[in-house]
Amino acid sequence: MYISADGTKRLRGGLHIHTDKSDGRKSPAEATALYRSLGYDFIAITDHWVYHPGSRSDGITVLSGIEYDVGSDVRGGIFHIVGIGCAKDPGLTRAGLTMTGALQRAQYVTDCINDSGGAAILAHPAWSMNRTGDILSLRGLAGIEIYNAISGMPWGRRADSSVILDMLAVDGFMLPLHAADDTHYYTDETGSCCIYAEVSEDRDDSKDSEKSEAALTDAVKNGRLYASCGPLLEIERAHNTLYVTCSPVSSIIFQTGTPWIPDRVTRGVGLTRAEYTIKPSDVFARVEAVDAQGKRAWSGYYSPEG
């Protein structure tokens, strides 16, 4: 956890973790202990088709979690949907999904996660080679992964889904952005990225309320978060101007829907501030901060006012 200059508490979370209950290489207890040692405030264990209930364990909150995967052919569609903070097991089985198409099964999974009180997050769209048209047709998603570590090196080169997400944003489809380890092997991917969730104590009157499962699930559902593989990031908006404050980085990039803008990138050594005024042609804007080691942080999307 860290507290920003304006007093906002941000908790570090990992919401895509596998264990030996499906295809991961550590037990749930081992995974929880490891992420606690890495400084995470909360995690979710998201084994394939295996519901893991929420709990508290020596200062770390474990949100309930599960991952559903449907489809096996990129032409027909492959969709992996992570369910976070479900109040009950959605109770789905592979055999029980009798819909003909993968997209129809993905929509049913999303609906069931929402009906169970959870947040449905679309995982690694670049790895899955999801078509933007298919993603646009899905309803009820609470987030989407812009970065998925296990989809990158040394296992592949599709960790970054930002181009797909920006094409969605052109069509007005702007979801909260997540970065996830998608831990399986407990090697390079583990602890490499996270979300930072904004949680206020007044959202829950229980002990350690900002770390309660209900408060954290609410933050995820409502997109009070940003994604990071390292840099810390804060943004204030005044009308169409974004004011960025961050931990020291080498570049701050304002990604927008305008193909060419001369003031899009600020570069330097130990940068901690930048600003940008969203233009009418931008359609959307989001912020990337990149540190000297190449580690990135990603804001959510902003639409032009007026």
Residue 207 in this model has a pLDDT that exceeds 60:
no
Proportion of the chain above pLDDT 70, given as a percent: 97
Tell me, yes or no, if the two domains 2-227 and 230-306 fold the same way. no
Structure tokens at 187: 């090697």
pLDDT per residue over 41-80, tens digit each? 999 999 999 999 999 988 999 999 999 999 999 999 999 9
CA dist 173 → 135, 141, 302 (Å): 9, 11, 11
* All structural domains of the chain with their residue ranges: 2-227, 230-306
List pLDDT tens digits, range 235-261.
999 999 999 999 999 999 999 999 998
* Distance, CA of 98 to chain centre: 29
Confidence band for 279, pLDDT divided at 50, 70 and 90 = very high
Q: What is the pLDDT of residue 70?
A: 98
Average pLDDT in the chain: 95
DSSP 201-247: GGG--STTGGGSHHHHHHHHHTT-EEEESS--EEEEEETTEEEEEEE
CATH superfamily of 230-306: SoxY domain (2.60.40.2470)
Decide: 102 and 138 in contact? Cβ < 8 Å: no
Task: Give the right CATH number for 2-227 from 3.40.50.150, 3.40.50.300, 3.20.20.140, 1.10.760.10.
Answer: 3.20.20.140
Query: Cβ distance 64 to 54 under 8 Å?
Result: yes
- pLDDT tier, 306 (very low <50, low <70, confident <90, very high otherwise): confident
**pLDDT over 70 at 284, yes or no:** yes
Q: List, as own/partner pairs, every contact residues 214-220 make where C-beta atoms lie below 8 angstroms and the sequence separation is at least 24, other chains included.
A: 216/11, 216/13, 216/42, 216/61, 216/63, 216/85, 217/63, 217/84, 217/85, 217/117, 217/118, 217/119, 220/15, 220/63, 220/84, 220/85, 220/119, 220/121, 220/142, 220/143, 220/176, 220/195
164 by DSSP, 3-state: which? helix
CA-CA distance, 287 to 255, in Å (whole number)?
A: 6
Spatial CA neighbour of 48 closest among 78, 77, 24: 24
Q: In this model, does residue 278 exceed pLDDT 90?
A: yes
Distance CA 188, CA 174 (A): 30
